[in-house]
């Protein structure tokens, strides 16, 4: 990633986009030149790219003279790096998937367009409402770097603990609201021969999510900001140590399924679908990922991370949520106005609703699932977002500082496998955070 990111800083100041603006009107708020070609590059991953093609068809109807070039790719970064270097990027890039371009590096090299005009433009199908006001909480912030919003994320991910509603009903188990209730329930579950928890052991970031969610609920927004802003001693905060202690307790009492550490995400999730474990931590993509794996009647649902104590600063309904599937308009695009207009179409309510129906995934557009008959998983995610209201939170250090993210993941893997203590966990991560803070070659961001 550093090598890939470093390459995109190349190019010269003479590499400027062709003039592509027309007069801005009520019907054409972004000043799109009607006959300007449009090139769209989309990550063709788990969601496919049909949703993007549909938005292109709408663009074509609106601008029939425009020639649209669509590319659905697996390795977006590998394909786009030389084009950013040459100053000939496409007009829209879905910068998603393994090996994607480092957005922080793109921002530092002034390679991405400020999307303020798009955000302040009227929504395509919600009259009287700006695009920015149609998005779920945190979406604009997720794409904002150094005060400029340079990316818009199309899907909305919520993290929590997943369980089978039918299994819990069958056994008479009630989802816990507090950590004490969780520990007590785990004891009851273990007596039945079912492991209370499993997790995607080869990728410890999965178990990191509920740990960091618990910490955020305990310490509130100030704790999250201190972590993201690399403040001295941030990882020594009581909320983080308490959360680490809770997960060390989970492991210490034998409530993690034996062998979980060696499992990939697909293996752990398959074991959970076979009812070998009651809980698994994951983001809201889990249901879509388990199609064809989960048995009929499994009825998977997501619950929020239980409260650590009655003195938590955020309510138990608070959830960690962030947008993903990141779209940007390169600064040197030939048709930046068209790129932003394409995103205005993609982020319309009609487009987002069609995406939700096809992919069982919550889009970043508010109200996109209204009136739909939702699956058990997506319905539980929608209900969690509704219950949380403004009490959503997300950490940004993972996006901003990849080395720190890896250090946190590695330390949490060691913690839940009883190889380090909560105090050691805190000290180890703080050392990594301090190293990032002192590294003058790393661009710093604050919130």
Tens of pLDDT, residues 410-437: 999 999 999 999 999 999 999 999 999 9
Q: What is the pLDDT of residue 8?
A: 56
Please provide the average confidence, as pLDDT, over all residues in the chain.
93
- Tell me the CATH number for domain 158-319+396-438: 3.40.190.10
Q: Which CATH architecture has domain 2-157+321-389?
A: 3-Layer(aba) Sandwich (3.40)
When pLDDT is averaged across residues 70-83 and rounded to a whole number, the result is: 95
- Output the pTM of the full model: 0.83
Residues in Cβ contact with 31 at an 8 Å cutoff, skipping those fewer than 6 apart: 21, 22, 23, 24, 337
Q: What is the pLDDT of residue 199?
A: 97
Give which of 197, 202, 212, 211 is closest to 265, Cα–Cα: 202
Give which of 271, 300, 259, 342 is closest to 93, Cα–Cα: 342
Q: What is the pLDDT of residue 288?
A: 84
Query: How is the chain split into domains, by residue range?
Result: 2-157+321-389, 158-319+396-438
Tell me which H or E stretch contains 438.
helix 422-438
When pLDDT is averaged across residues 166-191 and rounded to a whole number, the result is: 98
When pLDDT is averaged across residues 364-379 and rounded to a whole number, the result is: 94
- pLDDT-based confidence at 256, cuts 50/70/90? very high
- pLDDT-based confidence at 108, cuts 50/70/90? confident
CA dist 230 and 242 (Å) reads 20
State whether residue 182 is helix, strand or coil.
helix
Domains 2-157+321-389 and 158-319+396-438 share a fold: yes
Instruction: State how far Cα 201 lies from the chain centre.
Output: 20
When pLDDT is averaged across residues 311-338 and rounded to a whole number, the result is: 96
- Half-sphere CA count of 364, side-chain side, radius 13 A: 27
Residues in Cβ contact with 192 at an 8 Å cutoff, skipping those fewer than 6 apart: 171
Contact indicator for 203, 397 with CB cutoff of 8 Å:
no
């Amino acid at each position: 990633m550093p090598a890939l990111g470093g390459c995109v800083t190349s190019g010269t100041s003479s590499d400027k986009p062709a003039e592509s603006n027309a007069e801005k009107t009520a019907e054409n708020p972004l000043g799109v030149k009607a006959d300007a070609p449009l090139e769209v590059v989309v990550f063709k991953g788990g969601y496919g790219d049909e949703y993007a093609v549909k938005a292109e068809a709408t663009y074509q109807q609106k601008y029939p003279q425009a020639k649209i070039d669509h590319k659905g790719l697996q390795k977006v970064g590998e394909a786009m790096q030389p084009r950013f270097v040459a100053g000939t990027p496409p007009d829209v890039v879905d910068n998603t998937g393994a090996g994607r371009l480092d957005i922080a590096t793109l921002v530092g090299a002034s390679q991405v367009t400020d999307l303020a005009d798009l955000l302040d433009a009227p929504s395509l199908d919600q009259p009287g409402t700006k695009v920015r006001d149609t998005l779920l909480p945190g979406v604009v912030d997720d794409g904002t770097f150094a005060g400029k919003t340079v990316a818009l994320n199309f899907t909305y991910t919520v993290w929590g603990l997943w369980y089978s509603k039918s299994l819990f009903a069958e056994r008479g188990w009630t989802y816990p609201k507090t950590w004490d209730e969780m520990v007590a329930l785990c004891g009851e579950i273990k007596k039945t021969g079912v492991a209370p928890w499993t997790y995607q052991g080869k990728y410890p970031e999965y178990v990191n999510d509920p740990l960091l969610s618990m910490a955020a609920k305990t310490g509130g927004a100030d704790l999250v900001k201190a972590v993201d802003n690399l403040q001295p001693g941030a990882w020594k905060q009581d909320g983080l140590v308490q959360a680490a202690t809770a997960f060390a307790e989970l492991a210490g009492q034998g409530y993690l399924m034996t062998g979980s550490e060696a499992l990939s995400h697909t293996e752990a999730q398959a074991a959970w679908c076979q009812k070998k474990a009651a809980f698994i931590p994951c983001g809201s993509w889990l249901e879509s990922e388990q199609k064809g794996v989960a048995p009929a009647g499994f009825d998977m649902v997501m619950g929020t991370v239980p409260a650590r104590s009655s003195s938590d600063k955020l309510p138990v309904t608070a959830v960690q949520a962030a947008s993903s599937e990141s779209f940007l308009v390169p600064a040197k695009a030939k048709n930046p106005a068209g790129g932003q207009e394409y995103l205005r179409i993609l982020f319309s309510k009609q487009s987002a609703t069609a995406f939700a129906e096809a992919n069982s995934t919550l889009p970043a557009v508010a109200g996109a699932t209204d009136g739909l008959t939702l699956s058990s998983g997506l319905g539980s995610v929608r209900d969690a977002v509704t219950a949380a209201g403004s009490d959503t939170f997300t950490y940004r250090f993972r996006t901003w500082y990849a080395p720190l993210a890896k250090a946190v993941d590695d330390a949490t893997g060691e913690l839940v496998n009883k190889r380090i203590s909560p105090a050691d966990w805190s000290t180890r991560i703080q050392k990594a955070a301090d190293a990032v803070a002192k590294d003058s070659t790393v661009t710093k961001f604050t919130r």
